[in-house]
Chain A
Amino acid sequence: MAETVEPVVLPDIEKEQQTATRSELEPGYLVVCWDDPVNLMDYVTHVFQVVFRWPKKKAEFHMLQVHNQGKSVLTRESAERAEHYVHQLQSYSLHATMERDA
């Protein structure tokens, strides 16, 4: 087994600023994690810690919000960063989406 797990690296925003439009860079997207009955609570907490580099307490807070309220808004980001986070969360098989912040 090779050690080639994709590292959690954020998009290079500075570089992208040269070509991206203003609306793409504005933090107008919410990254939402939705409840499902299959992902284990400890697993979800772990994934939040890895993907967002959050301390355990914050990760647990959002995990419990998902569990008790059906969803949790994890962060508000530009479209590109929101896509990045959704992709990371989905690679762990979590039910995550990005939604435009109305």
Chain B
Amino acid sequence: MKLIRKDGDSFVFDLGKREKRLLLEVLKLYPLVPGAHHRVSRSADDSRVTENQKLLEEALAERTQENRRQLQAMLNDGQRFKETERGHQLTLSATQMEWLLQVINDIRVGSWLILGQPDDKKGKAIAVNNDNARYYAAMEFCGYFQMMLLDSIERQK
């Protein structure tokens, strides 16, 4: 995945055929982070915070629903990926890039949760098996796509 040009507000990427397939397969996993994963506060005794936990979970659920709708539209949009000699061209606006970053990171964090929250600093290694191997791959691929998107945004500043 490589940024080849920026047309006004649009970022145009070159993707290999395998990259496109990987991106679409990874995106199909969305959403992975459960709503209850996010906590408003660590101060459980704060009544205002407790009241708003539910409201925030509802708001995040609405956001997830909307993201899912947009993602479905993207996956069903035959014109989103234009075929080229070497693979495909993907065009995204700055707003869509921001949206895609959120979706991809949800899959990355959700995969990490499914893998048991491995943490090198704490010596908690990833235990990959047949059941969770796809999430290990998804976590790594999401990291790759994130870096490509972030690098493109940075280079255009």
Contact = CB atoms under 8 A, between A and B. Distances in A.
B145 to A, nearest CB: 11
A42 B96 CA distance: 19
B73 A1 contact: yes
B49 A98 contact: yes
A54 interface: no
B143 A40 contact: yes
A61 interface: no
Interface in A46-101: 46, 50, 79, 83, 86-87, 90-93, 97-100
Contact of A42 (B46, B63, B99, B147): B147
A23 to B, nearest CB: 9
Contact size class for B? Answer: 35 or more
B75 to A, nearest CB: 9
B29 interface: no
A14 interface: no
Contact of B109 (A38, A50, A79): A38
A4 interface: yes
B1 interface: no
Contacts of A6: 63
Contacts of B106: 93
Interface of B: 33, 38-43, 46, 48-49, 52, 56, 59-60, 63, 66, 69-71, 73-74, 77, 80, 93, 95-96, 98-99, 101-102, 105-106, 108-109, 112, 117-121, 139, 143, 146-147, 150, 153
Interface of A: 1-6, 37-40, 42-43, 46, 50, 79, 83, 86-87, 90-93, 97-100
Given A1-B71, A1-B74, A3-B99, 14 more contacts: A1-B96, A2-B69, A2-B70, A3-B96, A4-B70, A5-B95, A5-B96, A40-B143, A43-B101, A86-B40, A87-B60, A93-B108, A98-B49, A99-B42
